[in-house]
Structure 1
Amino acid sequence: MGLLEKPKQQQKLQEFQAIILAGYGSSNRLYPITEDDNIPKALLPVANKPLISYTLDWLEKAGITDAFVLTQSMGNAQQKIAGYLARGYQGNVHCNLIGVDEDFGTADAIRSISDRITTDFIVLPCDLHCEMIPREFLDHHRINNPTMTGLFYEPPKGEKGSGKEDELAQYIGIDTAESRLVHIADCDSSEDGDLSLRMSLLWRFPRVKFHVNLLDAHVYIFQHWVLDLIKAKEKISSIRQDLVPLIVKCQYQRKLVENEDMDAALEDPLDTALSLSTVYDEFDENLLNEHDPYRSNFKSNIKVNTVIYRDGYCGRANTIAKYSEMNRLASKQGLSIRRVAETAEVTQKSQIGNDSLVGEYTKIAEKSSVKRSIIGAHCVIGKNVKIANSIIMDHVVLEDFVKLDGCIVCNNAKVLEGSSLTKCEVAGGYIVERKTEENGQKLVGFREAI
């Protein structure tokens, strides 16, 4: 287990601690751009900034300055992220980088650092880019004081990257009167696609609106006591698949609360206060409901709230398509960002579109064109090169007369003279031979197993 700590500027009383899940474990959906020869998921460039920098900026805007960054201890991901946090990150979030077993689920990873979490905590992925003002999300949690608050978002209509490789659609049931999340399940959880509900849910929450177009941002705020539940129940391995559904069901299932030894959730402080009142006329609902197996006076203090963001962009770069879309939106026309770095050398006869970016110390020779694309730092682009709808990472060489359309070319790769690639991903360090023509391929070098 490794640890990198950035010195705190001053000691502050923290309301929340953040846990950033920095792409540990499998990243198959981002293959081959997260191969060892390239860079870890957390450092993938989005508009020439590391992906995790957007998450850290979001936390800083929220006023959260204490974060644990969890990444896999195997491979070189931990070392590379450590280098960025020590030398490249210029923000004010104090980051503790910790390596965890790559086989750990998200809840397992949190369990492994539970003794270091001393406040309520927010869990979020390293691949999130959200335009929502973070204080709106935190204030909702502060006002309602639920056990958990989750962030969901509605993707824009016609959003690219909504194909088969995306997450499964979910049935999201929300009691709109209280913004309570009362049901969450994958839409394919039953063969016929029918939605099955417990009567206890309907008695407790009779007015529920179900959504199938919402996506889970995987951003959750938990009360500190949830750590005790995670530590006590080793069967809870995943936050999304194990912990969240359990907490949601405990809002209305008495037996589940009792079986999980969460009896404290049955105690209602209001009932206790009223029982001590000299003017309150206690009414025993048990007399009405003692013969009804579904409708009872069960009250759980467990409360799960939701915030739904619809007013701007919110998304995760957890697939190739979504990663490309995030780059497109981060560099679109009209944004007040520098299009061509001061140190870049672009000949006058080359054309750089106003929806493209060119990184530091990159050289672009004459009669080349760049449209709707992002080019990283220290790249060498030859003559008569045509680049469209593509992402070119750092230290890439594109020789003369190369054509790229809809491609991702990773660090230190070379595309030799006269090659034409369409919708291809070129792995880090890979060399594309002269006059290669490929469409829709993943170009990866063979490596022997160690």
Structure 2
Amino acid sequence: MEFTAVVFCGRGKTLEPFSEARGTGLPKALLPIANEPMINYVLDWCQRAVLAKILVVTQEETSESVEATIEKYKKSRRERFAKESDGSEATKYTTPIEIMPFTAENSAQIIYQLYKNTQFRSHTQNIMILPCDFITDLPPAVIIEAFRNRNESDVGVYFTYKNQLEIEDKKSKIFGKKYTVYDGDADDSCLLDVYGKADIEMSKFLRIRTQMSWRYPRSIVSTKLLNSGIFLASNRIFNIIDESPSKFSELYFERRNYDKFIRDLARRSWKHSKSKETVGLFVVPSEATFIRVNNLPVLMEANRQFMKKQAMMKGQTLQGLQSKDKLAAHVGNDSIVGDGTELGEKTNVKRSVVGHNCTIGKKVRITGSLILDNVTIGDDVQLENCIIGHHVKIQPKSKLINCNVESTNDVPTGTQAKGDTLLCLNLEAVEDGESEEEFVLKTGPLSDSSSDEDDDDEDDTSEDESEFEDEYTANDDGLFAY
């Protein structure tokens, strides 16, 4: 088995206030999509391939809850196989899953941690780096074959995709503007460089070296390609680290995310006088569905995608089964209600996902919303396009439109809010120097003020070094001598 999958479970900064970036939040990997932890979709996808093992890297402080969820996933998978297995060896095989607790501020530190693990290096032929937040129907065999068919000079393959969601993003705040530079030959494409918005916001132009244009005259710069978070690489990348200890030092990895490490590997194809090993590029086919749930608008839209599919599957089959009792609660075919949830009289749920063990009062209107587990909603409440965290209490006669409510919050009776993020009072905000008004209620959804980059797993805009300080000024081989 040639591949070991390494699943990165970040803190989910762009999923605040529902991720572990807030004290009340859940680990990013456990945030639900259609009432299933998002990491389950990644594990299911991995199980469709024949892998040596799946290594889930998560923060030390949340490793127990992630491990408990994975154990529950294993049990559910075994039970499902016991009922559905046809007895063939193919259906009996399950890839072993291991947990690696490791707290890292930047995701490139995980690469360095694996690099220092001699046992991992000796037993791993190829690495499949995955985020914990993607959903796709693209078979893993497709990306594995893309890696196997790569150019001999490629140490890995960088996978990108194009947005398929119907989300208006005129200011590039949801998906973040990235400038991906790659060789223009579609049949044998390689990654040349990647720029984030922060890289050019000061200079207002792309700093592309002439040497790259000479060597790759058909280079293309695209703002349509998004980082899938998937990177397949041979263990040769560890040898590259060995060969350049001054550049790829421990401090280098502490200050970067792994996306920038891949970028620096790609630059090797043109920033030296002699061509060196580089990184191939593969764009997920438009025929396949691919969604990265790495911010709040996409989290909401991903849930809606599942609801649309459910409504199409159900069609009108359940329409006649709805209770004719005028006092009964109504749940549309395009909605999901979790186990143990109670709905009061005349409550109406449309285009929404309601979590497990929730208590919903009478005459509640829930439209286009995502409600996590153990939420209590009083009578005569209206929710429209809202995300409600776990263990939230919304008192009667409240009306929330386009709002995010942090987990464990208690929304007072009669609250009227539109486009706001309701946060809990906590000491962390006081220590950060924020006033009560600033952290109890923030005008506008958090996603609008979040990082311009995709996620903390991919991009770190707080890097205080010059982007090109150590990338172009070094002149070891004399290429840039004047």
The answer to whether the 8 Å contact 1:368/1:386 transfers is yes
Give the structure 1 partner of residue 159 of structure 2.
Answer: 151
The answer to whether structure 1 residue 100 and structure 2 residue 108 are counterparts is no
The answer to whether structure 1 residue 171 and structure 2 residue 177 are counterparts is no
Q: Within 5 Å, which residues of 2 pair with 1:14-163?
A: 14-24=1-11, 27-34=12-19, 35-64=22-51, 66-74=53-61, 77-89=62-74, 90-91=76-77, 92-103=94-105, 105-114=106-115, 115=117, 116-117=120-121, 118-144=124-150, 146-156=154-164, 158-160=166-168, 163=172
Say which of 201, 205, 211 aligns to 2:216: 205
Give the structure 1 partner of residue 234 of structure 2.
Answer: 223
Give 3-state SS (helix, strand or coil) of 2:211's partner: helix
How many residue pairs match? The answer is 387
The answer to whether the 8 Å contact 1:33/1:39 transfers is yes
The answer to whether the 8 Å contact 1:347/1:365 transfers is no
Aligned pair in 2 of structure 1 residues 388, 157: CA closer, same or farther (>3 Å)? Answer: closer
Q: Greater Rg, structure 1 or structure 2? A: 1
Give the structure 2 partner of residue 432 of structure 1.
Answer: 411
Gaps of 5+ in 1: 1-13, 256-297, 340-344
Aligned pair in 2 of structure 1 residues 54, 230: CA closer, same or farther (>3 Å)? Answer: farther
What amino acid is aligned across from residue 19 of structure 1 in structure 2?
A: V
CA distance in 2, matches of 1:44, 1:303: 32
Please state how far the C-alpha of 1:240 moved relative to its aligned partner.
4.5
- Normalising by structure 2, we get a TM-score of 0.74
**What percent identity do the matched residue pairs reach?**
24
Q: Which has the higher helix share?
A: 2
The answer to whether the 8 Å contact 1:424/1:439 transfers is yes
CA distance in 2, matches of 1:193, 1:346: 61
Gaps of 5+ in 2: 78-93, 317-321, 432-482
The answer to whether the 8 Å contact 2:268/2:277 transfers is no
Q: Could you report, residue by residue, the CA deviation over 1:153-201 in whole angstroms, capped at 9, with x for unpaired residues?
A: 1113743467425433223323324122223223553345433433332
Please state how far the C-alpha of 1:305 moved relative to its aligned partner.
3.1
Give the structure 1 partner of residue 190 of structure 2.
Answer: 180
Aligned pair in 2 of structure 1 residues 37, 300: CA closer, same or farther (>3 Å)? Answer: closer
The answer to whether the 8 Å contact 1:161/1:321 transfers is no
What amino acid is aligned across from residue 191 of structure 2 in structure 1?
A: L
The answer to whether structure 1 residue 387 and structure 2 residue 389 are counterparts is no
Give 3-state SS (helix, strand or coil) of 1:322's partner: helix
The answer to whether the 8 Å contact 1:413/1:430 transfers is yes
Q: Within 5 Å, which residues of 2 pair with 1:214-293?
A: 214-230=225-241, 232=245, 233-234=248-249, 235-237=252-254, 238-255=256-273
CA distance in 1, matches of 2:351, 2:384: 10
Give the structure 2 partner of residue 320 of structure 1.
Answer: 296
CA distance in 1, matches of 2:138, 2:98: 25
Aligned pair in 2 of structure 1 residues 165, 308: CA closer, same or farther (>3 Å)? Answer: closer
CA distance in 1, matches of 2:324, 2:378: 16
- Which portions of structure 1, spanning 4 or more consecutive aligned residues, are displaced by more than 4 angstroms? 160-163, 334-339, 345-348
The answer to whether the 8 Å contact 1:172/1:212 transfers is no
User: Looking at both structures, which has the greater relative contact order when contacts are Cα pairs under 8 Å and sequence separation is at least 6?
Assistant: 2
| Root mean square deviation, CA, Å | 2.8
Say which of 252, 262, 283 aligns to 1:307: 283
CA distance in 1, matches of 2:355, 2:165: 30
The answer to whether the 8 Å contact 1:174/1:210 transfers is no
